[in-house]
């Protein structure tokens, strides 16, 4: 017989030691929730492909009671469409969101129901609301087996949950390319949103926003970096139309930027405010060299060689837009500003626009993006 109490307490100790869990009230809630109930099995990718791992096995149990994100559903193309996020990411987000006793909280992205259980253990289930585009029934059954009945609903989470509003807190466990106006309008005065804003592939981070009015919110990006799976209604993973490359029309240049451009998360985010929507990134091996590829649906393409001569790497561009220039400019601007990290960036959300600023909204570094 496995002892989940012992194992959840050990995991809590690990998260405390790692600085991902602090408050006694959250430690208490965390140690009340058996994660294996929410993850009866999960998917693991081996060199041979995906295999399902059961919670009852040693391998499954060890993974569930460790700080690992676990894929719990795959689509027909074997892409992950739901997961139980890393417990340490959940506790970090719940503490950042400053959830207080008596708050009404909406979670967007119910998934397994695990995070709804943490919230229910902390707040009481009558204060917890959670929506997902799928998977809600299974999550409700798992929660009910522990005597928890938060209000769950199947819907597109961009709509929020108007019937149950207002909320003191909204947290999203899937990434959005814009902060939906509905979430802001469904916040109570003093309310906050914590969400993973990704304006393009990998371009963004968790941002904590305070309601400043019925249609406006502002706040800052949080330290560290996190990435959730994208909202499925959003077109962020649509395949790129790959135009044939016309070798006579290639534009050759060089760069000092090393590694995957999107691996430098802050300047990649800055660049993404200037890049067209629908950016896809990938790699391609040509004549023994690795090239990082950046493409957009209009057939524009930039390829950067992983290896170079001295500190210069080759860049080849093709298609209607020069994708590399905004990236090079953003990296230079970021370096000139002293390579600032995420917390120095702020976000203002108003109807019709998202504006990102470095340090001060009235300062010289700000980027505005119209939203529909």
Ligand X SMILES: C[S@@+](CC[C@H](N)C(=O)[O-])C[C@H]1O[C@@H](n2cnc3c(N)ncnc32)[C@H](O)[C@@H]1O
Residue nearest to ligand X as judged by C-beta position: 111
Q: In 209-323, which residue ranges form alpha helices assigned H by DSSP?
A: 265-272
DSSP state of 321: S
Q: Do 121 and 186 touch, CB atoms closer than 8 A? A: no
Q: How far is the CB of 202 from ligand X (least distance, A)?
A: 16
- Residue 219 binds ligand X, judged by CB under 6 A: no
Work out which of 12, 35, 60, 84 binds ligand X, going by CB under 6 A: 84
Q: How far is CA 354 from CA 16, 116, 179, 222, in A?
A: 35, 29, 8, 17
Q: Which stretch binds ligand X (CB under 6 A): 153-161, 184-192, 198-206, 348-356?
A: 153-161
- Residue 180 binds ligand X, judged by CB under 6 A: no
**CB nearer ligand X, residue 85 or residue 120:** 85
Q: How far is the CB of 189 from ligand X (least distance, A)?
A: 25
Catalytic residue among 82, 83, 84, 85: 85
Neighbours of 133 (CB within 10 A): 19
- Residue 88 binds ligand X, judged by CB under 6 A: no
# chain residues binding ligand X, by CB under 6 A? 26
Q: How far is CA 28 from CA 24, 55, 65, 102, 139, in A?
A: 6, 23, 16, 17, 22
Q: Could you confirm whether 366 is annotated as catalytic?
A: no
Collapsed DSSP state (helix, strand, coil) of residue 117: helix
- Residue 173 binds ligand X, judged by CB under 6 A: yes
Q: Angle between the 136-145 and 114-123 helix axes, to the nearest 10 degrees?
A: 40
Work out which of 82, 120, 151, 317 binds ligand X, going by CB under 6 A: 82
Per the structure block, which two tokens stand in for 293? 């590829």
Neighbours of 337 (CB within 10 A): 17
Q: Which stretch binds ligand X (CB under 6 A): 110-118, 191-199, 262-270, 344-352?
A: 110-118
Q: Which stretch binds ligand X (CB under 6 A): 50-58, 83-91, 244-252, 346-354?
A: 83-91
- Residue 134 binds ligand X, judged by CB under 6 A: yes
Q: Angle between the 114-123 and 87-96 helix axes, to the nearest 10 degrees?
A: 40
- φ and ψ at residue 124, rounded to 5 degrees: 90, 135
- Residue 174 binds ligand X, judged by CB under 6 A: yes
- Residue 135 binds ligand X, judged by CB under 6 A: yes
Beta-carbon contacts of residue 141 (< 8 Å; ≥ 6 apart): none
**CB nearer ligand X, residue 128 or residue 275:** 128
- Candidates 220, 153, 214; CA nearest to 188 is 214
- Residue 131 binds ligand X, judged by CB under 6 A: yes
Q: How far is the CB of 105 from ligand X (least distance, A)?
A: 12
Where do contacts with ligand X occur on this chain (CB under 6 A)?
81-85, 108-109, 111-112, 114-115, 131-135, 156-158, 173-174, 228-229, 231-233
The residues annotated with a catalytic role in the active site are: 85
């Amino acid at each position: 017989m496995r002892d989940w109490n012992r194992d959840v307490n050990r995991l809590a100790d690990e998260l405390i030691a790692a600085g991902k869990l602090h408050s006694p009230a959250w430690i208490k809630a965390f140690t009340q929730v058996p994660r294996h109930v929410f993850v009866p099995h999960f998917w693991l990718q081996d060199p041979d492909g995906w295999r399902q791992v059961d919670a009852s096995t040693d391998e499954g149990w060890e993974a569930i009671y460790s700080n690992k994100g676990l894929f719990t559903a795959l689509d027909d193309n074997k892409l992950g469409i739901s997961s139980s996020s890393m417990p340490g990411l959940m506790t970090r987000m719940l503490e950042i969101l400053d959830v207080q006793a008596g708050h009404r909280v909406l979670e967007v992205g119910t998934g397994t129901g695990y995070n709804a259980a943490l919230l229910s253990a902390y707040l009481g289930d009558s204060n917890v609301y959670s929506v997902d585009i799928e998977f809600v029934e299974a999550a409700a059954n798992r929660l009910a087996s522990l005597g928890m009945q938060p209000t769950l609903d199947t819907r597109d989470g961009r709509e929020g949950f108007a019937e149950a509003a207002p909320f003191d807190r909204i947290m999203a466990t899937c990434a959005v390319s814009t902060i939906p106006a509905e979430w802001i309008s469904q916040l109570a005065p003093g309310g906050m949103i914590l969400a993973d804003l990704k304006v393009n592939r990998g371009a963004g981070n968790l941002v904590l926003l305070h309601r400043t009015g019925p249609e406006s919110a502002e706040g800052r990006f949080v330290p560290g970096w996190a990435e959730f799976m994208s909202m499925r209604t959003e077109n962020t993973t649509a395949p790129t139309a790959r135009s044939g490359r016309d070798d006579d029309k290639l534009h050759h240049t060089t760069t000092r930027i090393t590694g995957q451009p999107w691996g430098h998360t802050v300047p990649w985010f800055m660049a993404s405010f200037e890049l067209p929507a629908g950016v896809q990134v990938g790699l391609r091996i040509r004549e023994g060299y690795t090239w990082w590829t950046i493409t957009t649906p209009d057939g524009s393409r930039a390829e950067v060689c992983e290896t170079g001569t001295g500190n210069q790497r080759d860049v080849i561009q093709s298609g209607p837009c020069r994708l590399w220039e905004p990236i090079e400019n953003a990296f230079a601007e970021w370096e000139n500003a002293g390579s600032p990290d995420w917390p120095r960036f702020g976000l203002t959300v108003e109807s019709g626009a998202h504006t990102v600023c470095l340090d001060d909204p009235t300062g010289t570094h700000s980027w505005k993006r119209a939203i529909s």
